[in-house]
Structure 1
């Protein structure tokens, strides 16, 4: 049996600014650094280019129906979540490139989380509380912010993401911050440079 040492990385981006977004720049740096190694395979999901609708009752209800009993509409709705979960499970490392919008995550990213945080699929309820079913995965948060929030009470974003990942069993989570990006050109360039170095170090550990 041949065992591959290739690490599969899923990069999820969610900047509404597209290629002009600073979180996108962090993702591009990650991809470029990973490309220099022969043992890292990167897949990207752009949640703005392939935007998911807000989760609605019909889609939520489709998950509760046995596969063989679903209507054609329910099969189509359930397939959306199934495909995203299968994609996540097929990768070793999850990289979330996340801008800070009004102290929270983009609604596009929330729509993605709403479909991968799924009882019975990625976590289950037990007498001792929720138990994650996604095992052996790592996650990296690439956070781009106009101000400086890391380590303060105003950073409600990072704990939220870590809690959601922890729900499904991903507890090995590392964050790289590029902050103060709206505080002048010199500060922005320094912050992006330092974040780039931190990303390179993350790649070395993948």
Structure 2
């Protein structure tokens, strides 16, 4: 079985994006001729949750109408991509101290009770375990790991909630302060990534 990597890009910029360039570098590091890449570019945006979507999601699967199944079709496709992947690489530009809206919309579409997590007597349990996640982050001024880094902390938390606990965050932070140093450190971190999980 070939190794499968799900690549998620969330930068609104397709040209000149640091997070996309880092994701390129990560894929070059981790993939070979047999690797299967599933691309998912969120730059065009994703639909936000609606009352109809929520109603469909909370209707038992056997009782859903055709309209409700259609309402959940994109969510089902996004979850299928996650389940098919051995490794997930997420490009994360920090916008206003948080995630791009499209990446938050992706999270809302894939975080589904009974599908990607469930509630138990012992608390919530993620259902997507056994996968490696690498986050390629980029920020203009936010230091990663600092008290104002809401983006990587939130993303790591919600991934763990879904059972994705093997998460490596690397990237270029404070690009507006010293871009050359930030990029050099990020490239070095990518080059140190183990090729196998």
Say whether the fold is shared (TM-score over 0.5).
Answer: yes
In structure 1, what is the equivalent of residue 167 of structure 2?
A: 173
In structure 1, what is the equivalent of residue 184 of structure 2?
A: 193
Q: Does 1:95 align with 2:85?
A: no
How far apart are the structure 2 equivalents of 1:34 and 1:23? 16
Q: Does 1:202 align with 2:197?
A: no
Does the 8 A contact of 2:94 with 2:100 survive in 1? yes
User: SS in structure 1 opposite 2:24?
Assistant: helix
User: SS in structure 2 opposite 1:20?
Assistant: coil
User: Map of 1:1-206 to 2, 5 A cutoff?
Assistant: 4=1, 6-35=2-31, 37-49=32-44, 51-183=45-177, 187-202=178-193, 204-206=195-197
Gaps of 5+ in 2: none
CA RMSD of aligned residues (A): 1.7
TM-score relative to the length of structure 2: 0.92
How far apart are the structure 2 equivalents of 1:167 and 1:134? 9
How many Å apart are 1:190 and its aligned residue?
A: 2.8
TM-score relative to the length of structure 1: 0.88
Gaps of 5+ in 1: none
Deviations along 1:37-85, one digit per CA (max 9) or x if unpaired, are 3353322210113x21111111121112233432332111111111111
Does the 8 A contact of 1:30 with 1:203 survive in 2? no
